[in-house]
Amino acid sequence: MNSEIKDYFQDHMPENVCFGCGVKNDEGLHVKSFWQGEESVSKWMPEEKYHGWANLLNGGIIATLIDCHCMCTAMAYAYKTESRGLGTFPEYRYATGTINVKYLAPTPIDKEVVLKALVTEMKGKKVVLKCDMFSGETKTAEAEVIAIKVYDSSEGKSSLFKA
């Protein structure tokens, strides 16, 4: 058992109800992400209820894992570039602008999956990320993701529906 204490990005979003990463969603996937050098990492153990074909992880669940890991990474990266701790003010939240997932190999449900994301660009409200998913040593999916900042508490409201 790993006794190292990790600072999970999602623990700094106490009211988050998202299916993928929300701490307030009892039925959710509970994605947990942390920094490991310049990459963010998430480790998640599939369950049989998330299978697509027998004993293989459903592609929609894979996309959700990648999506939530990347949105929380974009948030954490924004704090990091401002040399601030997670959960400090102003708070930021990100939503998916685009996600392009390539499924490379079947992902078994009997092994932990590991996601590794790297920010490749940040410009204004846009963060571009590359994310890889592994099952054991096998890379089973990769994605290019664009995250858009939709909430900045210093602005007082969500910009999600602004043109």
pLDDT digits (tens, 9 = 90+) for 20-51: 999 999 999 999 999 999 999 999 999 999 99
Q: How confident is the model at residue 1 (pLDDT cuts 50, 70, 90)?
A: very low
pLDDT in tens, 48-75: 999 999 999 999 999 999 999 999 999 9
pLDDT at residue 158 tops 60: no
Ramachandran quadrant class, 83 (left: phi over 0; alpha: psi -120 to 50; beta: rest): left
Q: How confident is the model at residue 157 (pLDDT cuts 50, 70, 90)?
A: low
Output the CA torsion sign for 147, 127, 26, 105: positive
pLDDT at residue 88 tops 70: yes
- The SS3 assignment for 69 reads helix
- Domain parsing of the chain, residue ranges: 9-158
In this prediction, residue 10 carries a pLDDT of 96
Strand-pair category, 39-44 with 92-103: unpaired
In this prediction, residue 161 carries a pLDDT of 41
Cβ atoms of 46 and 55 within 8 Å: the answer is no
Output the average pLDDT for the chain.
93
Enumerate residues 6+ apart whose C-beta is below 8 A from 37: none
Greater pLDDT, 156 or 9: 9
d(CA 58, CA 38): 29
Q: Is the bond preceding 90 in cis, omega lying within 30 degrees of 0?
A: yes
In this prediction, residue 162 carries a pLDDT of 45
In this prediction, residue 4 carries a pLDDT of 62
Distances (CA, A) of 113 to 86, 131, 136: 25, 13, 7
Q: Which CATH superfamily is domain 9-158 in?
A: Hotdog Thioesterase (3.10.129.10)
In this prediction, residue 163 carries a pLDDT of 35
